[in-house]
Each structure stands twice: as C-alpha cells, then as structure tokens.
Structure 1
C-alpha cells in the first residue's frame, strides 16, 4: 500500500493487486494508475477501478467483456514521501471511501 501513497507508477499500468496466480479471477477487479492531480496546492495520484475479463464472478466477467478498460470509479490519493503507517492506513481508508462514493452510474 505504500506504493499507492507514494504515487509511483505510470498512467495506464496496474497499481494493484499484483497480476499473479489467481488474483485477477478471484478478485475480479483492479486499480489502474491515473494521472497526477493537483488540489489545494497538494499533489495526488488518481487511481481507477476496472474489472477483469477473467473474473470468476459471471456478472463481473460479462461486464468486463463489454469493456475491460472502463473506469467504474476513481480515487485520488495524496502523495506522501516516506509515509508513516498511520498515513498509509488513512490513505487506504480514504481510497476505498472515494471508490465507493465515485462509482459511475450506467
């Protein structure tokens, strides 16, 4: 999670979870790295929630087969160099809140 808070990554690449084993099929979704965003003088990294084509869940799989690069939601994470454990934990909590609040309706 420190990687997310540090803002590392190239836009369009996967941020999490790692693409290994059965992660894609079991989890069914992923975070992709977005652009850097400035808000109130602070720098944030935008992350997008996308679905995986090979998800075990048939509903997720069918939706992903229509457009696996569709951004279902997004979250902006404030970039911190050498974040503390508490800052990382707060950022992850905020990320999930943002993803929940920013879901795009069809």
Structure 2
C-alpha cells in the first residue's frame, strides 16, 4: 500500500493537545495505526499527553524539536528519532524561528 501525502489534505490545528500555535498534519488512519506527515511551525508546541493504548515514533525530517519526555528535556534534530512508548508522557516544542517537519507513526498497542 502506498500512502501519497501529496494527495492528502493538510489540516491546521491551533493548540494541538493543549499546545500553542499552528500544527499542520497530513494523516492516514486505518483505525489500527496513524501515519502522519507533520509540521510544527516556528514557536509552536504540542501539549503534554500520555500514550495510553498506543505509542509514537517521530522521525525528524527538518529543523529541531525539544521534547519533554517523562519530565526530562531532550532536543532532536533532523535525522533523529523520538520514541514515546505506551504509558509514557511527552510534549513537543519548536523553540526555533524555522518550521520543523516530522514523520510520525502511532500504532495501537491494545
């Protein structure tokens, strides 16, 4: 199965999961796994949330994103992967003046 993100309409979400600013996503979802191409615009964030019943793998394509993972801060750059296992908590912040892009997969684990 090919997922062509060029054919998926981008959705803009203001304050995704309680964060701040513009989050842009192109989402493929079959009910078992979410596959996303995302942009976290400059100065924006994704709010703190816990992955219950799923996990998340985020591959940074462009820019940098600072994560607070289970209370610990870490910064990922293009080429890095951030992983949030089931039952763990994270948030994401783009503290830079440039948009950050990342590919994310959220499979259901239960």
Which TM-score band applies after superposition, normalised by the shorter structure? Answer: under 0.3
Q: Which structure carries more relative contact order (alpha carbon 8 Å, separation 6+)?
A: 2
Higher helix share: 1
| Greater Cα radius of gyration, structure 1 or 2 | 1
Q: Give the structure-2-normalised TM-score.
A: 0.26
Q: Give the structure-1-normalised TM-score.
A: 0.27
